[in-house]
Structure 1
């Protein structure tokens, strides 16, 4: 991998009332089921921060550390970027409780739920005081703590890059991507974030969905696909896409990142240069269908079309769409 991400090409536009008012540039990597690169747009080989798109690999490392979740839903929340809805909070608390831990052990920042209904409910019931469990990465942090408890590792320093859990996560990411981590940063939740290429993370997601049934890799993929509402919430694009497309594994990340994979088809990874999350799912879906050859079932087409071409509102009514340019 080269040292610096070089940026991408024009991949999407915002059309309002027939006028293109905004443009998004980015990079795309599409791999086959074996993880071989079949197409690239922009820079598919330099390291970038996938942000929360790394979470499935982090959850895999938690299993490898000896964590045995009480349910596959608990495993799914460890790979989630949840919205603080009641079902999300229940699962994060379940992970902690079954490890003999509590919310006081969490080291993600305090926050309020990002889902508007959940936020209003919490404020009405408990007041506007942010709590760590409401933060969208609390499931991951709960899983990290549970893995440390299972392995007998120190709980107080679980976010440090030289902690045994974080070293295992790095090794797991490098194994699945086939790359050496290009950089280590601090994610929004305070845990380390590891830089890999779009090619590498697409390869990793293909390996998750193509792994033998019952293997730790496949357990992570299956738990996420069986519990899509936990991954990003009721109205989240990952929930909607995985519910509509059989076999799809989807995980978005901050700053315009998205990875999709389907067994027997391959994977698509997208980085939007300006960090706009609104463009990442449409471009990734378009790449996996137009380039990767994913066939959309007839019954799923209305939902997939709404993810391809998200509506732009004016006066509360649709007046345009985001349009992928692949």
Structure 2
């Protein structure tokens, strides 16, 4: 929509098409010198000017970003009135492991809103981190709304709704003013209308966009001025990557390894990452297999100019046979070409 300089809003294209994505081979599982398995998917690499420098598969079909959309949703919450920074803002954009600091952070956000965990509408679950889940079970604990990996986002949604005087009980309803505000931010930053709305695993609304649009949005966060909502989210996640994920999670290690990188993973094989100058990558693994996500993302980041030695620990995973390494899972096809 056009207008004066004071009222102009960014252009938003029509929604991406809902179709069966034309994914292509992106990763090979090699055992004993033979290709044992192939992971298909789609990948996009954006230059600093936002242009598509590389693409494979179908980057324009509508898909669900899952938790990779959380940093964009966090921007929507800040715009709607959320007052958080630092590690608590990182937790707002997190798929956390359920560590003590994550649970304490979510409780802190709720206390600041004058609420308890009873107000959460996140689906009860066990902690996402394997170590945390085992300890949880050893203590005889069951599924909890607070332990669910999206509880930071849900607590921040409640805090925002309380600050605006909006209803709390139905804050996850797609027609709630909070969710409409978040949807508006998603459309603006991705540059396209939302193709479809459904419910994510945590119970909050999930918005379908394209892989290209999602990557474009994350690039804008990474390159934003520090005093903007976009820049505040990017800074919080970069400064507190373990709060936005968990101790020794691959996405946290990747952000520590690549200075200035903003990265977020999502269920069903989604990964986005962006450098401070706006170079960015987006990955979707077709079968949702998490094991292919990081090797493909590393190959895409190499196309952004990140040094191979920095990415060496992320570029492949060993294939084990009889307790020995007998192969590797690595990016393949055009992704690793010139």
Shift in alpha-carbon separation, 1:136–1:316, aligned structure 2, 3 A:
farther
Deviation at 1:314, TM superposition (A): 3.3
Note if contact 1:11-1:26 (Cα within 8 Å) is conserved in structure 2: yes
Question: What residue number does 2:154 align with?
Answer: 141
* 1: CA distance, partners of 2:288 / 2:131: 26
- How do 1:95-106 and structure 2 match up within 5 A? 95-106=109-120
Structure (1/2) with the larger helix percentage: 1
Alignment partner of 2:62: what SS?
coil
Q: Is the contact between residue 260 and residue 285 of structure 1 (CA under 8 Å) also seen in structure 2?
A: no
| C-alpha distance in structure 2 between counterparts of 1:64 and 1:272, whole Å | 31
Q: What SS does the corresponding residue of 2:146 show, helix, strand or coil?
A: helix
Partner SS, residue 307 of structure 1 = coil
Helix, strand or coil: the match of 1:184? strand
Residue 66 of structure 1 deviates from its aligned partner by: 0.8
- Aligned pair count reads 318
Equivalent residue of 1:228, what SS? coil
Q: In structure 2, do the counterparts of structure 1 residues 316 and 234 end up closer, same or farther at CA, with 3 Å as the change threshold? A: farther
Equivalent pair of 2:222/2:278 in contact (CA under 8 Å): no
**Alignment of 1:116 onto 2:135:** no
- Which among 209, 220, 224 is matched to residue 211 of structure 1? 224
Match of 2:80 among 46, 65, 72: 65
Task: Show the counterpart of 2:301.
Answer: 288
* TM-score, with length taken from structure 1: 0.93
Query: Does 88-97 or 55-64 show the bigger shift?
Result: 88-97
C-alpha distance in 1 between matches for 2:326 and 2:312: 16
Q: CA deviation at 1:86?
A: 1.2
Q: Distance in 1 between matches of 2:106 and 2:306?
A: 33
| CA–CA distance in structure 1, aligned partners of residues 221 and 320 of structure 2 | 37
2:327 counterpart (308, 320, 323): 320
> Deviation per CA, 1:226-252, whole angstroms, max 9, x where unpaired?
001112211211111001110111101
1:27 aligns with 2:42: yes
Residues 156, 16 of structure 1: alpha-carbon distance in 2 compared, 3 angstrom cutoff: same
What's the CA shift for 1:320?
A: 2.4
Instruction: Give the secondary-structure state (helix, strand or coil) at the position aligned to 2:29.
Output: strand
Where does the alignment leave 5 or more consecutive residues of structure 1 unmatched? none
- SS of corresponding position for 1:293: coil
Corresponding residue of 2:189: 176
Matched residue, 2:9 = none
Q: Which residue of 1 aligns with 2:94?
A: 80
Q: Within 2, Cα distance between the matches of 1:315 and 1:151?
A: 59
- Structure 1 distance, partners of 2:287, 2:137, is 33
**TM-score (norm: length of structure 2):** 0.90
Separation in structure 2 between the aligned mates of residue 80 and residue 189 of structure 1, nearest angstrom = 12
- 8 A contact 1:153–1:164 mirrored in 2: yes
CA contact (8 A) 1:34 1:207 kept: no
1:307 Cα deviation (Å)? 1.1
- The counterpart of 1:279, out of the listed 282, 287, 292, is 292
- Residues of 1 paired with 2:86 and 2:49: CA distance? 26
Q: Please state how far the C-alpha of 1:120 moved relative to its aligned partner.
A: 2.8
- Taking only aligned residues, the RMSD between alpha carbons, in angstroms, comes to 1.5
Question: How far off is 1:210 after superposition?
Answer: 0.8
Question: Where does 1:8-19 land on structure 2 (aligned, <5 Å)?
Answer: 8-19=23-34
Unmatched 5+ stretches in structure 2: 1-15
